[in-house]
């Protein structure tokens, strides 16, 4: 019985080793960095951080809020990857992304909604091949995103309202891992951080008097799983 159990353990170990090393993920051979044009898509979980600071015209002490939201998103990517060295490449990539995340607050007299629903980014992606099938990459780029800040009141004579929309610039930082599936298809998992420039807007009552002044520097964080097709 002991010999049978030992044989089963040896067989199981051989299968596990063949799965790991057979895919090339842990192969000592690093292979050659990819090169060429590509198209792809991503599914994302997006976190949005709004941290508005509010100053009041009536002399009341200013307040700072932290309003966070999560949403689902998707993106389309296109670019060109250039081989610099045998194991090192540099990608130039464009991305358009959408998400359904929003922060909301409903009270008896007010409705507040903050969104960052879409963005376009241009990035450089240095990539280093770790094995024949696995590589690590970074991302550095610029983004242009759309932001919405809305507050509506059922008592506009005494409670402020605002409706601020902005197309604004930001910067992008990211890290990820990429797995080569075949000569033309790969998949990646990545984290991306986007910080947008500061926003300024004012909440007013119906008379037009500005009683609240807002500043905010929103941030989005994407956890993405994607695929690319290269040619």
CB count in 10 Å sphere of residue 106: 9
Give the separation between CA 112 and CA 220, rounded to whole angstroms.
Answer: 19
Is this model's pTM higher than 0.85 or not?
no
Cβ 211 vs Cβ 57: under 8 Å: yes
Contact 17, 70 (CB under 8 A): no
pLDDT score recorded for residue 221: 97
The tens place of each residue's pLDDT in the chain, 231 residues long, gives 445 445 545 544 444 444 344 444 444 456 667 789 999 999 999 999 999 999 988 778 888 999 999 999 999 999 999 999 999 999 999 999 999 999 999 998 899 999 999 999 999 999 999 998 999 999 999 999 999 999 998 887 778 899 999 999 999 999 999 999 998 999 999 999 999 999 999 988 877 666 889 999 999 999 999 999 999
Query: Does domain 31-230 correspond to CATH entry 2.40.160.20?
Result: yes
pLDDT at 153: 86
| Other beta carbons within 10 Å of 88 | 14
């Amino acid at each position: 019985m002991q010999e049978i159990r030992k044989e089963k353990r040896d067989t199981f170990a051989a299968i596990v080793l063949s799965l790991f090393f057979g895919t090339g993920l842990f192969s000592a051979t690093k292979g050659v960095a990819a090169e060429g044009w590509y198209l792809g898509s991503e599914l994302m979980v997006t976190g949005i951080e709004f941290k508005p600071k509010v100053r009041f015209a009536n002399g009341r002490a200013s307040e700072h809020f932290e309003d966070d939201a999560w949403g689902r998103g998707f993106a389309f990517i296109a670019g060109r990857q250039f081989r610099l060295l045998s194991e090192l490449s540099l990608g130039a990539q464009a991305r358009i992304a959408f998400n359904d995340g929003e922060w909301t607050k409903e009270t008896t007299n007010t409705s507040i909604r903050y969104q960052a629903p879409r963005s376009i980014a241009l990035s450089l992606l240095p990539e280093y091949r770790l094995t024949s099938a696995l590589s690590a990459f970074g991302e550095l780029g610029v983004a242009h995103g759309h932001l919405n800040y809305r507050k509506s009141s059922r008592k506009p004579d005494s409670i402020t309202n605002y409706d601020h929309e902005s197309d604004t610039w930001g910067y992008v930082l990211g890290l990820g891992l990429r797995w080569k599936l075949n000569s033309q298809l790969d998949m990646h998992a990545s984290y991306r951080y986007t910080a947008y420039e500061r926003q300024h807007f004012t909440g007013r009552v119906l008379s037009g008097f500005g009683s609240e002044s807002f500043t905010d520097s929103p941030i989005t964080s994407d956890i993405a799983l994607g695929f690319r097709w290269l040619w």
